[in-house]
Amino acid sequence: MLQVKKLCKTFGAVTAAENLNVNIDVNSTIGLIGSNGAGKTTFLNMITGYLSPDSGSIFFRDKNITGKPPRYITRQGVYRSFQIPQLFDSMTTEENLEISKSIAASEISIDGNQEAKVESKNQSVKEILEKFQLTEFQNQTASNLPEGTRKLLDIAMALIMGPNLLLLDEPTSGVAAEDKFKIMDMIMNVVETETTAIIFVEHDMEIIKKYTNRTLAFFNGKIIADGATKEVLSHPSVKANVLGLTSQDSKL
């Protein structure tokens, strides 16, 4: 479904992506691991159009989306959440979801590309509120929500139109340790994995082990291991370069 070929990106002297080649199929859940600055978020940012790669190509369902703006890529059914929640702060939880739905459903700016419209397996606002246990917050202004709830709403906004490819940037960061599995369960519950692929950046190896069937390990802008999660986590180079750091990072 997603083909990434020879993707490269540098910021000045820093190499954020070096010859990345990845193929992703429907019905897979993929974890991205690596220390801070290893290139995970840059990878997500290039797929979703926030950054243009220096070279290489990205195809989504056989359509070239390399260097296209975020709105175009979103319209193909690629939705994402953010490390720092990106909400409409002056609106209530319910309004945030309503407006997400109305934008996704509207005709505004498909850049003349009608066929790009998402085939929606979309959920109603009410359903999403219930599934994410946000009902009690529905009339609260987003700026007043507790951090964990903001994170959840951010993810819910990406999910409401039923994405074909869902990218989550650290879905459990800033969430209390005892809630992390609950949140992941909610997400997995809402996403129909048969038709969707999920990619998420995560520092927590327990989450990676429990929810992913494939893992990509990043180091200095390169993918140093790609395969079944269990194998990647026991890969010597990953142990040395990724896990050595992450076990220090997460003092959980």
Q: Which residues bind other proteins (CB under 8 A)?
A: 41, 45, 48, 50, 69-71, 74-75, 79-80, 82-84, 86-91, 99-100, 102-104, 106, 108-111, 118, 157-158, 169
Nearest distance from C-beta of residue 103 to other proteins, angstroms: 4
Nearest to 79 by CA among 208, 213, 171: 171
Crossing angle, helix 147-159 and helix 180-190, to 10 degrees?
A: 20
Which of residues 25 and 111 has its CB atom nearest to other proteins in the complex?
A: 111
Which of residues 88 and 181 has its CB atom nearest to other proteins in the complex?
A: 88
- Residue by residue, DSSP assigns 141-168 as BGGGS-HHHHHHHHHHHHHTT--SEEEE
Nearest distance from C-beta of residue 32 to other proteins, angstroms: 15
Distance of CA 94 to the CA centre of its chain: 22
Nearest distance from C-beta of residue 236 to other proteins, angstroms: 32
Nearest distance from C-beta of residue 84 to other proteins, angstroms: 7
Which of residues 36 and 234 has its CB atom nearest to other proteins in the complex?
A: 36
Crossing angle, helix 93-105 and helix 147-159, to 10 degrees?
A: 20
Q: What is the DSSP letter of 80?
A: E
Which of residues 109 and 247 has its CB atom nearest to other proteins in the complex?
A: 109
**Contact status, residue 22 vs residue 30, Cβ threshold 8 Å:** no
